């Protein structure tokens, strides 16, 4: 009888440890997926700034990307917080993101990315999952230099 009790306790312990490991692996998997998508956004924005010139008018140079943000599910963790904000007085963008129960992380993109919506320069994709269409447009900034203006289509 004691063998059965020990077997059940051992099985329960192993199951609990494996579930904790699965949670950690799913968050790491989500972070890697998000890092790949951020690299794609940065690459297209840098390409836009490098190879195109901003033009005044209704049809600025643009790039359209479909990014796949991690969804919360078995084996994958969703992004709790994802915010793009311009770095003060630099040509960079600060991206802050956080997954469930993990410390917040920051990544610097080497390109100025602004929100195309009036009234805010930050882009907040917190809680967004799955496929998101991101439109990057090269426009003239207030200082006359090119900046990447972003619109999100969900």
Joined together, the tokens standing for residue 129 give 């999952």
| The pLDDT value given to residue 58 | 75
Q: Per-residue pLDDT tens for 30-54?
A: 888 899 999 999 999 999 989 988 8
- Mean pLDDT score of the chain, rounded to an integer? 84
Confidence of residue 24 (pLDDT cuts 50, 70, 90): low
SS (H, E, C) 49-118: HHHCCCCCCCCCCEEEEEEEECCCECCECCEEEEEEEECCCCCCEEEEEEECCCCCEEEEECCCEEECCC
Phi-psi group of 72: left, alpha or beta (phi > 0 → left; psi -120 to 50 → alpha; rest → beta): beta
What's the average model confidence in pLDDT over 119-123?
85
User: Which residues form the domain of 101?
Assistant: 2-153
Q: What predicted TM-score, i.e. pTM, was given to this entire model?
A: 0.81
Look at the chain and report how many structural domains it folds into: 1
């Amino acid at each position: 009888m004691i063998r059965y009790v020990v077997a059940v306790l051992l099985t329960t312990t192993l199951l609990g440890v494996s579930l904790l490991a699965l949670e950690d692996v799913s968050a790491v998997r989500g972070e890697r997926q998000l890092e790949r998508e951020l690299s794609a956004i940065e690459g297209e924005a840098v390409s836009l700034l490098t190879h195109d010139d901003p033009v005044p008018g209704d049809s600025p140079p643009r790039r359209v990307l479909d990014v796949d943000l991690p969804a919360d599910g078995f084996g994958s963790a969703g992004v709790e917080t994802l915010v793009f904000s311009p770095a003060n007085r630099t040509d960079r963008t600060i991206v802050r993101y956080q997954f469930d129960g993990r410390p917040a992380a920051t990544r610097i993109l080497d390109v100025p990315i602004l929100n195309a919506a009036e009234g805010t320069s930050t882009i907040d994709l917190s809680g967004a999952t799955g496929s998101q269409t991101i439109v990057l447009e090269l426009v003239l900034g207030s200082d006359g230099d090119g900046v990447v203006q972003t619109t999100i289509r969900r």
